[in-house]
Structure 1
Amino acid sequence: MQELKVERCIVSFSDIQGRLRSFVVSGDLIEDLVTSGIDVDGSSVGMTDIERSDIVLKGDESTFRLINLDGRKMGFIMAEIADQPDLDPRYTLRRNLNEIAKVDLKFMVGAEVEFFLLRGDKPADESIYFDSVDEMMSARLMLSEELERMGLKIELMHHEVAPGQNEINFRFDEAVRTADNILIYKMAVKKAARTMGLRATFMPKPFEGVNGSGMHIHMSLFSGSRNLFYHDSDISDYAKWFIGGLLAHAKGLSFFASPTVNSYKRIVPGFEAPVYISWGYKNRSALVRIPSYNGQGSCRIEYRAPDPTSNPYLLFSTVLAAGLDGIRRRIDPGEPRGDNLYHSRDTDTLPGSLEEAMKYAMEDDVLIEAVGRRLFSRYVELKKAEIMESRRHVSEWERRFYIDF
């Protein structure tokens, strides 16, 4: 920072629910931040109780990057809770990755993060999927430029199915860096949208009758330079067992993949969101699918349940734990499904509510251990409060349906 004459740095960290929290420090505090850490209030962001509110945040210097914020050159760094790491989602994922690194394994993840652009409270356009006369093309180009200034490598962008819905894809990476990039992506998209007089939302289902926004994740497991999911003629046994673990833990995983009350308005038949616990090749109606691939570099498993409100650190930790449990126990995922599962009546389904998903997660020791019992308990407290708050409110549908019942 001194060499580049950068005077200030944005320090960011993930709260338990996966929202990026930030503050700005002057350059003369950077050394303290990356060595001993800086005290901040953790209770106001739901990390700690008010009577024990202070937490020590320590910057991860490997995440430092230069950014351009409104024409001003600044630093940016991700931080973790140094004095209570068992409450930190990012540390939790690093802990899980460090465990598999001991046996020379590396977890690689890519994410497709969908969002809506709004004018006021309505979709900003009426374009369709892959529209060639797309009203939001120039907006996505500006958003992509902002993301690139934040250090993300943009690979593909397009209009999604619903009016106002968009997708900008960035390059896959090792799991912690991808999780960092998801939070940075959401922050940058919201900020850039405001400068264009628009509003970006990552709400899973903001509008009835159209597709909701997902965050499909693509995963591969490497040993050295070898992709363990790849085999010459088909996906490997490791891949099938990993899928078996995802299916076996699917109901509990929903608590982390679909973590809001609104998430379950997205997971209904007919809108390209997964409902049935199943897997298949290229089958977009399945919960887990194997996309087309060409060689081991692109061989991967796609898990289609997550939405953008999930905490990526907790999501990746639990998905990895479920998949490794499948490998450890050699869980057979069953036969791949090639039919349209939205017409199925004989396949088990994902939970229909956040409360139901929480019940399954609380019975799943594999997922609880992946998150850590203290962090899991805190996460449950926050979600119980969210469920109770949602019950207090009367929706427009309830008024329409019941007022003259």
Structure 2
Amino acid sequence: MNDAEVLMNPNDLVQFLKKNPEYFTKDDILRFCEENHVEMVNFRYAGGDGKLKTLNFAVSSKEQLDTILSEGERVDGSKLFSFIEADSSDLYVIPRYGTAFMDPFAEAKTLNILCSYYDGNGHPLASSPEHILRQAEASFKKHTGMEFKCLGELEYYIISKEETFYHRSNRIGYHESGPFCRFCEMRTEAMLMIARAGGKIKYGHAEAGSFTKDGYYYEQHEIEFLLTSPILAVEQILIAKWILRRLSVKYEVEVSFAPKIAIDRSGSGLHIHLLAEKNGTNVLIKEGKLSDTAKRMIVGILDISDAATGFGNTVPTSYLRLVPNQNAPTYICWGEQNRSVVVRVPLGWVDGVDMAADANFGLKRRSEKATRQTLEFRVADGSACIYEMIACLICGAIHGLGMNGALTKADELYASRNIFNEECTSFLKTLRRLPISCTESADALISKRKLLERDDIFPPGVIDDQAAKLRAYNDSCLSERLRRDETLFTECAEQYLHIN
């Protein structure tokens, strides 16, 4: 990391240690804590419910701090994951030094550090969500020789008491500014905290959803991150969710990442952008056009997309978002700049065109620029088990890159326009539909399990456990009932308001 990168990096440890977090060592953490008078250390790790857990340590000596940083601590895995039995539940949580950041909410000087799970034999816990994603990432590299990178778009609602000040009821709030966007300052405060915690943010903005109901005001926002490795992509979302929820207490509001909180209003998705790199070069574009590699990846992801809902859309209200004409996918296809598809190819900045020069009277800058093209998976939502869901996408990409006839399939599944336009009626009849309930999602997950279990990415028990959770909702006919009965929907939406 050069001096300029250190100077502009808001993370306290980067500023102090003058190095990239991936090179942090135990001695670096000890020195930082000693010289900055850190009083508390928190181990943080995601449980089976997708939320960050906390184990607190009051720092009493350098020796004690050295011990916990070297050896981690024991936890009861049966209280964290449903697939771990109580009679063999002891796990270790081991800190990963490069994830350390100062807690923005603690009164005492407190260092947070993310941890990995290890079993009683000292091996990475094969069934832990983080390890599943690491296995998927390694498998992609082994089979393709390429690196997989991704980012998330985190959508959420802020829920407050209704006020008449600059009232903006039931209007499209996309990219709205204050004072018509009431909570833009809360969003920007959260973004600064996330950045100090190590999150790499692209931008934030108000989203389309804005409405009032029963004396409450609902305002939708989005924070989009920068491309990075799969593990970091997931963990910056987890930290962002934690920060937004903690910050909501200060603002006396609630924050919800639920997929659907009002039957006739915009839901909240968790869109994932992804790409593959070979020797640092984005391989999705070749000679100015979408490459065959990109098309093969798309087809593989489409083929596995129904199973991916098993980890990406995990509550009954998820399937009220996946309906026609709601800017969410329903049928399995892909397209360019098309929001009714499962995989969208968004604008990626045109090679050879310098718009900044045109906008700034001939401003000169570097002539060559790397393509920023990504593929956008539009199905998942805020209920997602994010580690496992992205692992599913990687499994799909591997599957597509090795699939016979993938390019022909890509042509067959290409949607040139909104698939619900009248002229697409015949095309629509050729497409498979995404699951419409948790029950159907479980069936799809079981049917595609061989693709997920290759290279020991997903342990069989994890697939079985997730399918059992989904089937327990017994929601085969629930979506239609919820659409007809607003009272029933309100009860259901409240139940899943703070899922994951």
In the alignment, structure 1 residue 310 sits paired with structure 2 residue 394:
no
Tell me which residue corresponds to 1:130.
Answer: 175
Q: What pairs with 1:142-181 in structure 2 (closer than 5 Å)?
A: 142-163=189-210, 164-181=219-236
Cα distance in 1, alignment partners of residues 42 and 242 from structure 2: 12
Distance (Å, rounded) in 1 between the aligned partners of 2:65 and 2:420: 53
- 1:373 to 2:460 alignment: yes
- Once superposed, what is the RMSD of the aligned Cα atoms? 2.6
Kindly state the Cα deviation for residue 41 of structure 1 after the two structures are TM-superposed: 1.6
TM-score, length-scaled by structure 1: 0.90
Report the residue type matching 1:356 in the other structure: E
Residues 336 and 346 of structure 2 are in contact (CA less than 8 Å); yes or no, is this contact kept in structure 1? Answer: yes
Contact 1:229 1:236 in 2 (8 A): yes
1:60 aligns with 2:122: no
Q: Which residue of 1 aligns with 2:78?
A: 43
Q: Is the 8 A contact 1:40 1:56 kept in 2?
A: yes
CA contact (8 A) 1:252 1:367 kept: no
Q: After superposition, where does 1:6-405 map in structure 2 within 5 Å? A: 6-27=38-59, 29-47=64-82, 48-83=84-119, 85-102=125-142, 104-119=145-160, 126=169, 128-132=173-177, 133-163=180-210, 164-294=219-349, 296-330=370-404, 331-332=406-407, 333-335=410-412, 336-343=414-421, 344=425, 345-346=428-429, 347-364=431-448, 365-369=450-454, 370-387=457-474, 398=485
| Cα deviation code 1:357-399 (max 9, x no counterpart) | 11011011112443221322333333344548x98xx979548
Which amino acid counterpart does residue 52 of structure 2 have in structure 1? L
Specify the alignment match of 2:29 in structure 1. none
Tell me which moved more, 257-266 or 352-361: 257-266
Q: Greater CA deviation, 338-347 or 171-180?
A: 338-347
C-alpha change, 1:384 and 1:101, in structure 2 (3 Å) is: same
Amino acid aligned to 1:43: S
**Partner SS for 1:157:** strand
Contact conserved, 2:40 with 2:108, CA < 8 A, in 1?
Answer: no
Which of 107-116 and 19-28 deviates more? 19-28
What is the deviation of 1:222? 1.0
Question: 1:247-279, CA deviations, whole angstroms, 9 ceiling, x for partnerless residues?
Answer: 111211111221222211111112111111110
In 1, Cα distance between the equivalents of 2:95 and 2:470? 28
Shift of 1:25: 2.0
Q: Which amino acid aligns with 2:105?
A: L
1:67/1:151 contact within 8 Å kept = no
1:166–1:32 Cα change, 3 Å: same
C-alpha distance in 2 between matches for 1:399 and 1:192: 31
Report how far residue 17 of structure 1 moved: 4.0
Higher Cα radius of gyration = 2
Change in 2 beyond 3 A, CA 1:213/1:396: closer
User: AA paired with 1:50?
Assistant: A
Q: What CA distance in whole angstroms lies between the structure 2 residues aligned with 1:193 and 1:71?
A: 17
Q: Tell me the distance in 2 between the aligned counterparts of 1:113 and 1:399.
A: 27
TM-score of the pair, normalised by structure 2 = 0.74
1:55–1:308: structure 2 CA closer, same or farther, 3 Å change rule?
A: same
Which string of whole-angstrom CA distances, capped at 9 and with x for unpartnered residues, describes residues 115-147 of structure 1? 00002699x963522224322222222222332
Percent identical among aligned pairs is: 22
Task: Give CA deviations for 1:214-236 in whole Å, capped at 9, x if unaligned.
Answer: 01110011122121212123111
- Structure 1 counterpart of 2:464, one-letter code: S
Q: Is the 8 A contact 2:39 2:108 kept in 1?
A: no
Give the Cα separation in 1 of the matches to 2:53 and 2:441: 26
The worse-fitting range, judged by mean Cα deviation, of 272-281 and 168-177 is 168-177
How many aligned residue pairs are there?
397
Further displaced range: 111-120 or 60-69: 60-69
Q: Which amino acid aligns with 2:415?
A: R
Name the CA distance, whole Å, in 2 between partners of 1:246 and 1:108.
15
For structure 1, which segment, 375-384 or 362-371, has the greater mean C-alpha deviation from structure 2 after superposition? Answer: 375-384
